[in-house]
Chains A and B, each alone.
Chain A
């Protein structure tokens, strides 16, 4: 064969083959993205899941993305996010790219369901999938399963999520407390999601809650022990009346189940992710009554108290003073308007500024500027609210606060001195005192005064002394020494009396001397001396004292005294001296 003839032929064949290859490959490359949705199973029980697989193939498939979070479907809730996978292949000379999104949906009701439409972005081009209908059947109840648990799909006799509200009939604006509680009989590893969506028809305030701190246990009707945790706590305030529904919320919970061998013995466990749905709740919201609605009612519903204070009691005209107003209580304070303040014409108030807000209270500062000097009343301050417990409107009020306004720097005309701010009674300060008595230092305790202590302590000391010394004194008084002392004292008293009367009544003075002498003699003799005649008296004294001279002097003095007493003869002074000298001799 002629080579010259074959060369062009071979060249043509190669070009033709290449053209054929290109002709086969180009349509594939030029084709647009192909998006298909596969749903399995199409008939599902409430305790099963629906798997949705979205397959994107064709040009730009590798860059395809699912727009937004997986949407809810009719009676179907997304359990977590989508998982993706990409496959690129060259088969039979054809380039092929496929990307898959796999999502799981949990049944949230019984009957007709629908997998929603998905929005897919492929190289800037948006593709919407068609919704896919599914049929949802009631799952058979396990024996002993708690009723009303609410964990319809995925909720079983081991783990469930409950939706708990503190009330299901409220007034418009009245807050309710919503909790999602996870209850389980198996070990829990974790849960999704970590945050919740807004609730249509409600203002939502999420309260921080630590599930670990809220752990509780209980037993069901079959006697099985459950452990529960509060996963989320929200305060919902309805924004419209009627029957509002808190939609169901899907949860994915990681649980650890025990593994048992063929003999029923536990030997470890295995982790599993379980899809659960917290059931929907319907709240009946009653509209607030029109009757009795205060004109300044701003929508606060609850039970509140009102406090107000001025940061100063005195201010110069033209300067600002802050009126701090605080509303405290239970209710939807977050949407409440500031309280209203009634002011005199020459006082200007500016817009309130929120100062603090916390659980159960809100504080505003109201800048107030008095324009003229004098004494003004700031207030009353009012806060109108609806009390759901009583079912009627109420107004919390703070009485007017006095404010002293002095002439300003610009030279406001004085008004002849302000009237006293403080007056007795009412909600005002009481007036200053000027006591009629001298001022005292009451801080000093009574026991700080030494004189007082002495005065208080002395009587008991005296009593104590008398109690202790009394018996000693009595014993001493009965002893010879005591008797002598008593005798001396008695004789001395008689002689002193005699001297006192010697000038005016010598007879009486002599009687005292005679008594003194007989007292002395009786003590010396040991018997009464008065009945004794002179001779026996002389002998007795001489014998007892051993001194005749003393006995003689005694008798002579006694006779001299008797002479003065009965005859008025003699000198009483000398007799008294003689008696004193005799009685100084102490009998043994």
Chain B
């Protein structure tokens, strides 16, 4: 390789590294501001909540954790801690909602799964959950570290593109080999990008919800004047359907379907109301 080509390769490599660093910075950019003068940082709030929980001051722990998530920090550990605290307080509906949100963000969070089962076992309505096949798929997709896979995919994408470009414009002895290597890198990048993108898609299309009302009557139509079909209780997980006014059509997994007041439910996706 001539000195000029070596210089070009180095320049391309540096460009790739710069882009990768930027990508990593973009992915890692989170809202953990480190705390201001007036407010504790989310992490400090989490530590404070854990200490309160250790001392059995569950209301205090709940308040801190609610503060964390109200700041828009949808971290699985924050939702897990909130769900666990709510379970201790006997607020099973909200506990299930928080733990489902933790699992939605991190499908391989085994402690959240265990606590979710603990709470489900204490519900008035026997619940199988709404996360069967989707949960299985999410757990499989989450085998690779989500952020790492995405950064690696973008890195490989850049390397593959660079190799292809070299292969296209340097019609010399190794051009074909460069092109083959470039295509292989792009294919690998696509494979690596599939799990994180699939997880993001699963999160965006999550239509499950949790009954928060102590008791709610599902009716045959959207309105109080329709006959009652069945009764649901706090903590039951349902699948959301279409909405009409203040009523939402829900289906109990493996069970009946009917219209419930919107106020009786909370979607697992924070913006998930239809």
Contacts and interface: CB of A to CB of B under 8 A. Distances in A.
Contact of A440 (B30, B87, B114, B203): B30
B115 A429 contact: yes
A180 to B, nearest CB: 30
A441 B75 contact: yes
Given A441-B31, A455-B23, A466 B75 contact: no
A451 B25 CA distance: 9
A456 B158 CA distance: 8
B115 A430 contact: yes
Nearest to A460: B161
A361 B26 CA distance: 55
Contacts of A433: 50, 77, 80-81, 111
Contacts of B84: 422, 429-432
A429 B118 contact: yes
Interface in B24-41: 25-32
Contacts of B22: 451, 455
A249 B213 CA distance: 49
A459 B183 CA distance: 12
B26 A452 contact: yes
Nearest to A444: B74
B111 A430 contact: yes
Contact of B89 (A314, A430, A467): A314
A404 interface: yes
Contact of A439 (B27, B68, B123, B146): B68
Contacts of A307: 121-122, 126
A314 B58 contact: yes
A428 B77 CA distance: 18
Nearest to B88: A313
Residues of B in contact with A, size category: 35 or more
Contacts of A345: none
A264 interface: no
Tell me the dominant secondary structure on chain B's binding face.
helix
A310 interface: yes
Contacts of A446: 27, 150, 196-197, 200
B52 to A, nearest CB: 9
A534 interface: no
B200 A447 contact: yes
B76 interface: yes
Interface in B4-49: 19, 22-23, 25-32, 42-43, 46-47, 49
B105 interface: yes
B145 to A, nearest CB: 12
Given A404-B56, A455-B26, A460-B161, A314 B19 contact: no
Given A417-B56, A445-B200, A466-B168, A439 B73 contact: yes
B27 A443 contact: no
A566 B98 CA distance: 86
Contact of B23 (A314, A324, A451, A462): A451
B195 to A, nearest CB: 12
A173 B121 CA distance: 29
Given A308-B122, A314-B88, 6 more contacts: A307-B122, A429-B87, A439-B42, A440-B28, A442-B75, A443-B74
10 contacts: A312-B89, A314-B90, A324-B124, A422-B88, A439-B75, A442-B105, A445-B204, A451-B22, A452-B150, A470-B168
For the complex of A and B, the 7 pairs showing the least CB-CB separation, nearest first, are: A459-B161, A443-B74, A309-B122, A440-B30, A451-B26, A430-B111, A312-B90
Interface of B: 19, 22-23, 25-32, 42-43, 46-47, 49-50, 53-56, 58, 61, 68, 72-78, 80-81, 84-85, 87-90, 92, 105-106, 111, 114-115, 118, 121-124, 126, 146, 150, 154, 157-158, 160-162, 164-165, 168-169, 196-197, 200, 203-204, 270
